[in-house]
């Protein structure tokens, strides 16, 4: 089990092993396929459809011509006239990622499956049927910059299948499940809650219709569902509206260890959590830097150290900082 207060901060790279796109891939997928996906909408009001026919091509053209390193979030923040349709585009791509088998393991990268390793560590020493009650004693929390629901799904699905004694609780009332009290904060919102978190019309894995399991089929996408999910998404200049940001900062401050998994260390994402100042209580800081150069890794470490010096934060100057060119699973195997 994990007995040190540990916070995991997740970026898009943490969802990559489970068939979700990275930030760059999300933008590319929208450019290539969103206009085609729009033709699959059902239950879309006539006036809304007319607006789509006008705005969608303009949105895609501008997005395509934007700087290749600009994320979809930053593009929408700079171009608020495309905010609504951009959020719908994001929701469509993520829902289709669920349909591709994200929640069923059909297209996972098993070699990079970091959650399985984490779950194994959390379940160590729990060898008896009723030991599932002790699983909640793990001292872990999660702060994610992703809109997707894969972390929630993996946590719940692994738990009820690993500890089948717990399924009687799940069967009696899935939305009143108290065995997984770990905090999961979505900085920019999430598509929707899952059934074990709360009851909702649109929290079925992949959408409202259990028969819609093939993303390449001709089945229609439920527009009201997509619109509701898009409404839960926040972009950079809307992040202050999230009341959980303050709680996220406190979680980091209370942590002995912080792991950055698949996190790109973008300035705007560091600022929202007052990083690195909120890391001052941490004794150990670890992070993945897959694809980064040694110069870039050195800059991140020096940035954290210098902020500690300038702000008079002694622990931040002296704590362990290891940013490694590893994927999430490799980092956890080495340092968790």
Lookup: tokens for 193: 């809650």
Tens of pLDDT, residues 286-327: 999 999 999 999 999 999 988 888 888 888 888 999 999 999
Lookup: tokens for 148: 């997707």
- 286 torsion bin: left (phi>0), alpha (psi -120 to 50), beta (else): beta
Say if residue 211's pLDDT is above 50. Answer: no
Most confident of the following: 194-203, 271-280, 284-293: 284-293
* Mean pLDDT computed over 116-126: 96
d(CA 136, CA 122): 9
Residue with the larger pLDDT of the pair 105 and 53: 53
Q: How many CB atoms lie within 10 A of CB 125?
A: 8
Say if residue 208's pLDDT is above 50. Answer: no
Say if residue 204's pLDDT is above 90. Answer: no
pLDDT band at 268 (very low <50, low <70, confident <90, very high): confident
Residue 309 pLDDT: 86
pLDDT band at 100 (very low <50, low <70, confident <90, very high): confident
Residue 330 pLDDT: 97
Residue 209 pLDDT: 42
For the chain, the average pLDDT equals 87
pTM of the model: 0.91
Name the pairing type of β-strands 184-186 and 6-10.
Answer: unpaired
Residue 238 pLDDT: 84
Residue 308 pLDDT: 83
* Mean pLDDT computed over 262-285: 90
Residue 243 pLDDT: 82
Residue with the larger pLDDT of the pair 256 and 221: 256
Residue 207 pLDDT: 42
* Burial of 70 from C-beta contacts in 10 A (0-12 / 13-18 / 19+): middle
Residue with the larger pLDDT of the pair 96 and 281: 96
Residue with the larger pLDDT of the pair 201 and 144: 144
Tens of pLDDT, residues 44-99: 888 788 888 899 999 999 999 999 888 899 999 999 999 999 999 999 999 888 87
Domain ranges (residues) in the chain: 23-104
Q: By C-alpha distance, which of 117, 106, 104 is closest to 14?
A: 117
* Mean pLDDT computed over 206-223: 54
Name the pairing type of β-strands 257-261 and 140-144.
Answer: unpaired
pLDDT band at 9 (very low <50, low <70, confident <90, very high): very high
Half-sphere exposure of 207 (CA within 13 A, CB side): 28
Going from the C-alpha of 328 to that of each of 14, 106, 136, 287, 335, the distances in angstroms are: 7, 20, 23, 8, 11
* Mean pLDDT computed over 119-136: 94
Q: By C-alpha distance, which of 232, 229, 228, 226 is closest to 186?
A: 232
Residue with the larger pLDDT of the pair 199 and 283: 283
Residue-wise burial string across 109-124, b where 16 or more C-beta atoms lie within 10 A, e elsewhere? eeebbbbebbbeebbe
Residue-wise burial string across 299-319, b where 16 or more C-beta atoms lie within 10 A, e elsewhere? ebeeebbebbeeeebeebbeb
Lookup: tokens for 131: 């030991």
Residue-wise burial string across 165-195, b where 16 or more C-beta atoms lie within 10 A, e elsewhere? ebeebbeeebeebebbeeebbbbbbbbbbbe
Residue 17 pLDDT: 92
* Mean pLDDT computed over 238-258: 88
In total, the chain counts a number of residues equal to 336
Tens of pLDDT, residues 138-193: 999 999 999 999 999 899 889 988 998 876 655 555 555 677 889 999 999 999 88
d(CA 244, CA 143): 10
């Amino acid at each position: 089990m994990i007995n040190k207060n540990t916070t995991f901060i997740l970026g898009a790279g943490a969802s990559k092993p489970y068939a979700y796109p990275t930030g760059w891939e999300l933008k590319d997928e929208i450019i290539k396929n969103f206009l085609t996906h729009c033709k699959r909408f059902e239950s879309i009001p006539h006036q809304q459809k007319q607006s789509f026919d006008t705005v969608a091509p303009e949105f895609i053209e501008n997005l395509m011509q934007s700087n290749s390193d600009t994320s979809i979030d930053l593009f929408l923040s700079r171009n608020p006239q495309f905010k609504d349709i951009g959020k719908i585009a994001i929701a469509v791509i993520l829902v289709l990622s669920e349909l591709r088998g994200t929640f069923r393991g059909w297209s996972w990268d098993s070699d990079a499956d970091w959650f399985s390793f984490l779950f194994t560590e959390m379940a160590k020493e729990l060898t008896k049927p009723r030991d599932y009650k002790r699983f909640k004693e793990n001292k872990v929390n999660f702060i994610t910059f992703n809109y997707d629901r894969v972390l929630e799904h993996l946590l719940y699905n692994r738990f009820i299948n690993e500890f089948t004694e717990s399924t009687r609780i799940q069967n009696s009332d899935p939305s009143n499940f108290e065995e997984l009290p770990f905090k999961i904060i979505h900085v920019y919102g999430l598509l929707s809650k899952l059934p074990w978190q709360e009851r909702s019309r649109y929290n079925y894995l992949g959408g409202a219709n259990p028969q819609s399991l093939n993303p390449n089929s001709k089945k229609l996408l439920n527009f009201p569902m997509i619109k509701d999910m898009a409404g839960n998404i926040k972009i950079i200049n809307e992040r202050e509206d999230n009341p959980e940001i303050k709680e996220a900062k406190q979680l980091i401050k209370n942590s002995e260890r912080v792991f950055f998994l698949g996190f790109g260390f973008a300035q705007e994402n560091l600022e929202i959590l007052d990083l690195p100042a909120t890391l001052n209580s941490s004794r150990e800081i670890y992070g993945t830097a897959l694809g980064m150069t040694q110069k870039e890794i050195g800059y991140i470490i020096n940035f954290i150290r210098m902020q500690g010096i300038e702000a008079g934060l002694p622990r931040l100057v002296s704590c362990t900082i290891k940013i490694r060119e590893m994927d999430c699973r490799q980092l956890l195997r080495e340092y968790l």
